[in-house]
A and B are shown apart, each in its own frame.
Chain A
Amino acid sequence: MNAPAPSKAPSKTPGKAYLNFSRTTARALSVGALGSLSLWFALKFLLTEEPGPQQAVLQIAAGVLSLAGMMASVLLFLSTYSFRANAPDAQIDEREVTERNRAYFRAYQTLVFVLLLAYIVAEVLEKALGWVPTRGVIANFLTLLIFAALTLPAAILAWWDTGEEG
């Protein structure tokens, strides 16, 4: 028996505007983005107002890390994994919708965990050492969280991708 002709052409592929990275590249970008930005946040703790060669090196390292992390985040955000993570239901098929929803749920769980952990650490440090996070620390932490929220769903999809072709 012959199969019937397709009623309409499928439109469930990302447009050419998206970068078609392999899953290995997308995984590397996700590690680069989140790793660099986390290191940048940690490094910012070590920076003080006092001038000196060591501080200058740390400043340059922090700058390089933030730039690398942001560039990797933007590249991942422009990838086909990001298309699948952010596409409306009509542009992806039902399995991809299920995967996207699972990825967003996992990203939400991760971010809530990080926020809760940060809150507990801040409370403990305040009680034990009297340390209160400065406005700058909070701003850096929010920057880290914003980039993590933007890249995590696509990163999770890249790590879940089994690499099997149709």
Chain B
Amino acid sequence: MISNRIQIFRTDRGLSRKELAALVEVNPQTVGFLERGSYTPSVELALQLARVFGVSVEAVFSLEPFPPLAAQIGAPASPPKGDTP
């Protein structure tokens, strides 16, 4: 299973799924499949996506799950449900 940050990068770049699909020449449905992790892209498509976002392919895809955004920016993790007074 390959994890990806396609949705994060796409939102950050202000792109709709349709616009991103046009940039990498796939069906817009395929972008949805990629974002949900329902489809693992070929090396070529992964490299194209990384090029569109202007980052390395390792920044977009990983063999291990990406850590939560809160952990990456040093924010305390949200307490588990039921612990709040």
Binding site for B on A (CB under 8 A): 1-4, 6, 8-10, 12-13, 92-96, 98, 164-166
Contacts and interface: CB of A to CB of B under 8 A. Distances in A.
A96 B52 contact: no
B18 interface: yes
Contacts of A10: 21-22, 25-26
B52 A4 contact: yes
Interface in B17-39: 17-23, 25-33, 39
A79 to B, nearest CB: 16
A6 B23 contact: yes
Contacts, number: 60
A3 B15 contact: yes
Contacts of A1: 13, 53-54
A98 B41 CA distance: 11
Contacts of A93: 25-27, 30
A165 B13 contact: no
B42 interface: yes
A165 to B, nearest CB: 7
Given A3-B13, A166-B17, A95 B26 contact: yes
A3 B41 CA distance: 20
B30 A95 contact: yes
B4 to A, nearest CB: 14
B2 interface: no
Contact of B21 (A2, A164, A166): A166
9 contacts: A3-B13, A13-B27, A93-B27, A94-B30, A94-B41, A95-B26, A95-B30, A164-B29, A166-B27
